[in-house]
Structure formats: C-alpha cells, structure tokens
Structure 1
Amino acid sequence: MEAILRPIYQERASQPNTLGVIIIEKIQKSIPTTDTFDAVLLIIVNEGEQSVFVKHYSYEQKKAALHIVTEEKLNEWLLLGTNKKIFDWLYNGKVLFDRNEYIENLKTELRDFPFYGRKIKMGLEFSKLIRRYMDGKAFFDNGHYLDAYNHVVHSLHHLARLAVVESGFHPEVTVWHQVKQIDLEIYKLYEELVSSEEAIEKRLELLFLASEFLIHSKTKVGIAHLLDVLSEKESWSFNDIMYHPELLEYSVDLSMLIQYLTDKGYISVENIETKGPRVYHRNYRLTNKE
C-alpha cells in the first residue's frame, strides 16, 4: 500500500514547506480512525492557501485519502480536541518523512503533555461541560426529557475528557475505554444513563444528583486556567474577558461559565453606575474563595 502511494507523498515531501508525512492504515473495521478508507496520508505543512486540503484516491478496489494540514490548524486540533482522530494518527501512524525531527518532537511533546497545556484543555472541557449540564438541566426542569438526555450525554463526554486530561493523557477516539481505566465512577455513571431500564425521567433525575457532586469535585482543576487569567487585574467587563487572547477559545461557553462561577461564589459581581438611572455596568472580580 505504501509503495502504491509513494509517488503521491514523495512529491510533497520534496517541497520545503512540508514538515512531515504519516501514513495510517485501516486495521479494525470497527474503529473509525480512517473514516472507512484503507489508508490515510497525513501531510503537515508550514503554511498553505487552505488550512485543510483533502483529496481522495482509488486503487486496486481500495480507497485512500490525502489530508494536507497546516501546522496552525494541527495545533488548533490538538488544543481544542475538535479532530479526535488526530491523536491516533500521530501516535499510531507510520512516519514516512520527518523534516528536522518535527513529528518526533511533536510526539514527545504530546506524550509529556506540559502542565500549562493541560490547564487550558481542562478549562475548555469544563466550560463545555457546564454549558451542556446547565442546558440539560433547563430542558429537564421544563419536561423536555429527550432534549435533556442529549445534553446530559454530551456533558458526560466532556466530564470524561476532563478526567482523562487531568490524568495527563490526551482524549482519544475511544475515550470511554480510557475513562474506564482512569475514573470508574464517571464510566459507571455514563453506563447507567445509557443502559438502565428505568424511565428516562428517573434516569435523568438520578444522574443530575450524581453529576452535581462530580462537577463540584472537578471545579478547581477545571477553572484553574480561567482564574489565572482573571487574577491579572481586579475588575473585568465581560467583553474584556471574552477578548482576552487566552480565553478566545472558550467562545460561546464563556458566558455560561462565568454565571456558573458567580452562582458558586468563585466570582462576584460589581455594579458600576451608568448614565441611566438604576442601570449598572456589570463587572466581575475574583472572590477569595479557596
């Protein structure tokens, strides 16, 4: 397979813009690592007109996919976890070309998983967790149980990914396999939700109670990055928080997270007078809560 695809990747490897080439071959039909393709060629480039360029090939009743990805987009995937397959590709793919040991150094960094990188990823996962949990709770309180169920499943996924990151690992495609080894309590909670024969309303009611405790236990590690940023000054408008360079990736989840932390006493509200009577600017500041 590699020999057949060699002309495709050799042309790219000869270009100075190319940092590395990896081939990933399909091994298990049940694992969607290669998106049903028999092989995937991942080519990492320094920069490109498109952040991701994909091309499909056919050969000998088989099919292959070529993914040309810029270094910037790759780093975004690694930080945000928006392409879960990328970790499997980097860990398990065969390196065909590696300029100045770029891929080897990247894999070393992923294995070491620097603590600062972990803090950011935990913050992002926690913010998504809170968004899904609170939306799910609102649907539940209004009797929309199927919508609540959907949000709770997603919130548990973020809780699971948070637990994996906290343990020093990157969440992979088979995240529940990871969690089963790392945090059995979260795994059993998820198992209970999806496999219980109880009525959906009862399942959700019990899960919200259990989730409240687990979220509380993960709050300090989940908000450590955000609190580091907010400690830079005493008072913040929400716009200043939203556009801080380190918080841009929190995106639409940030407002819900700030409200959650206000409700829990980690952040206090400071009302600042405006020109209008009885209308105040709403600023935020850290409390002394440990």
Structure 2
Amino acid sequence: MNTLVGKVAFVTGAASGIGLGIAEALAQAGVKVMMADIDGEALAREVARLSATNADVAGVRADVSLKAELQRAADATMERFGKVHILINNAGVGGGGDYGDWNDAGWEWVIGVNLMSVVWGIEIFGPLMEAGGKAGGEGGHIVSTASMAGLVAAVAPGYNATKYGVVALSEGLRPKLAAKGIGVSVLCPGFIRTRIMESARAVPERLAGKVALPDASALPSEFAAMAAQAIQNGIDPLYVGELVVEGIEGDWPYIFTDNQFESGVDLRFAAIKAGFDKIRGRTPRY
C-alpha cells in the first residue's frame, strides 16, 4: 500500500501494549482506526485519549476468542467507516499451562485468542477488503502478530504452537491474497513493554477458574527475574507500531522488532538442515 492516509484499519487487542502502539501509529499516519479489545474500560480510555489528538478512531468491545463477537465487531466497523483496508490480528495471551499442567480450558483459551481469532479475522474481513482491493484499486493489507516464539519454540507449549500457526498461516496466504490485491505480513516481536505477563486479566467469564495459568513462583528465580526485567525494559510499543506502518507500506513479509533472537533462528534452521544431511545419499524404499 503506497499511501495509508484515509484508509480504514481494524485492530484487535488495541487497548494496551502492541495493539495500542499499532493503533496509535496508524492513526498518526492518517488511518481511520476501529480499536477492539476485551477490556472495555481500558478501550474507552484509549479511544478518548487518541480522539483528543484529532485521530479518527472508534472502539468496539469484543472477545476475539468467539467468532460471533468478531463478526459483530466487523459489522460495527462497516457501520462506522463503510469499508476496511487494513486488518491487524494482534490480540494474544500467554499461559494455558505447561506440560503436566495444561487442560482443555487452557488450550481452548490460548488457541482461541492467539490462533483462531486470526483465522476468523481473515475469514470475516478478507471479503470486505477484497471489495476495495485489486479490482477497486485501493488495496489491502493483513498483519498478524506472532512472536519470535513462532520461529523458535522458547516459551510455553500452547503459546509456541499458536504462534507457529500464525507464522505458517501468514506464509501460506501471502501469495494467494497477493493476487487479490491484499498484502500479508507476520509480526514477530521480541521483548516489548507490554502486559503479556498479566494475561490472566483477559480470561473470559466462561473459562474463569478453569484455565491453567503460569505460576511465576514455580519458575527458576533467575529466569523469572530475567523475563520480568526484559519486558519491563522492553521496546516501546509505539515503535513497534511505527515498524508495522512501514511494513504495510513496503509489503514486508516478516516484521521483526530487533535482532536479539536472530542467532536462535539460525540454530533452528541449522538443526533442520542437519536432519536432511543425515539422510543425504540414501535411496528411499518404495
């Protein structure tokens, strides 16, 4: 997308952290933004703050782990702005339990928010974006937030699995949607100054008391302290938003926030390459 001025964006998880940073950066670039979040109070506060800067923003409360609520949010976006050009599938949660602690409710929650909301977001907003895409000359773009844990399995199993899924989904859809005038990028942030460690606050009422949440006291003290400090001193979410704006304008396939985990990605692909080396020269049996 060569210019973003006057375009319309829908952003999930927009009341705090990376989602708020993206919503603010888009608004600063002249984009009209519908902000969605499960935290209605925080959402109203941030919509009011951005509106006071003359940004054209609105808010809709939605639990993105429920497809019907995403559909309702899409309807609200169309009613407010008439069209949509940019979809930011950003909402995400940590937790869900580690091996030996996970349960069905935890998987339902983490998969619902981190992966299925991305699937449903594309399913619901894709046709709306196509309407003004290649044929209409306006174009469109989808950015889905994964994580460096979507390239290197370094966090909890459920989190890793969903973030790998977002990467795979984005990579697979990029060539297909390009033909329809819609760009696709996957955002893989590192340590960002967010409230990801407080994901328990976003557990929906239907799953309250059922989700296995991470127990910080069970983590090695050095690791817990490192993670907490890394996030507290992490990258400014608004800077991440500015990178996303640049990524949309330049149609970047991958949007990274820093090089901190580049060596980990190199090691992963070296291990994959080593797996092929083990069978090189062998003749398969058929």
Bigger strand share? 1
* Shorter-chain TM-score range: under 0.3
Normalised by the length of structure 1, the TM-score is: 0.27
Larger radius of gyration: 1
> What TM-score do the two structures reach when normalised by structure 2?
0.27
Q: Which has the higher contact order (CA 8 A, sep 6+)?
A: 2
